[in-house]
């Protein structure tokens, strides 16, 4: 059981280049998330998905796109990288927990991160 994995671990891009970060989870979780972590700012949500084929914007979505074609994978794309996107990117997943007729929250499990530098 690998949990949440991310590829690649490190990447250096030039301004204007594109790339895709891959997140995979083997826990059959419904929800998946992409965060970026910058010094002194904690983690900020970029995009998230509540199920296969669905995505939604988080706090800082500009400049990023995502896709969830398979339940276990969540891709984060940068179409035209900018130096402001230099950051550490974390993927997370969680299950959808139901309490009676309502949906409630559950623990998020994180991947090891991808360190991206845009020159």
If one asks whether residue 33 binds another protein (CB under 8 A), the answer comes out as yes
If one asks whether residue 108 binds another protein (CB under 8 A), the answer comes out as yes
Q: Considering only CA atoms, which of 31, 38, 42 is closest in space to residue 68?
A: 31
If one asks whether residue 63 binds another protein (CB under 8 A), the answer comes out as no
H helix and E strand count, the chain: 0, 13
Task: Establish how many alpha carbons lie within 13 A of residue 87's alpha carbon, considering only the half-sphere containing its beta carbon.
Answer: 22
Nearer to another protein, 48 or 78 (CB): 48
Q: Tell me which residues touch another protein (CB under 8 A).
A: 4, 31, 33, 35, 40-45, 48, 50, 58, 90, 92, 94, 96, 102-113
């Amino acid at each position: 059981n690998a949990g949440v994995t991310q590829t690649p671990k490190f990447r250096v891009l030039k301004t204007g280049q594109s790339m895709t970060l891959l997140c995979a989870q083997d826990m059959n979780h419904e929800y998946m998330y992409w965060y970026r972590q910058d010094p002194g700012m904690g983690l900020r949500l970029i995009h998230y998905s509540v199920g296969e084929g669905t995505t939604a914007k988080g706090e800082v979505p500009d400049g990023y796109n995502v896709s969830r074609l398979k339940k276990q994978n969540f891709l984060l794309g940068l179409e035209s990288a900018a130096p402001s996107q230099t950051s550490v990117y974390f993927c997370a997943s969680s299950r959808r927990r139901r309490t009676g007729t309502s949906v409630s929250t559950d623990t998020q499990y994180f991947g090891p991160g991808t360190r991206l530098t845009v020159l």
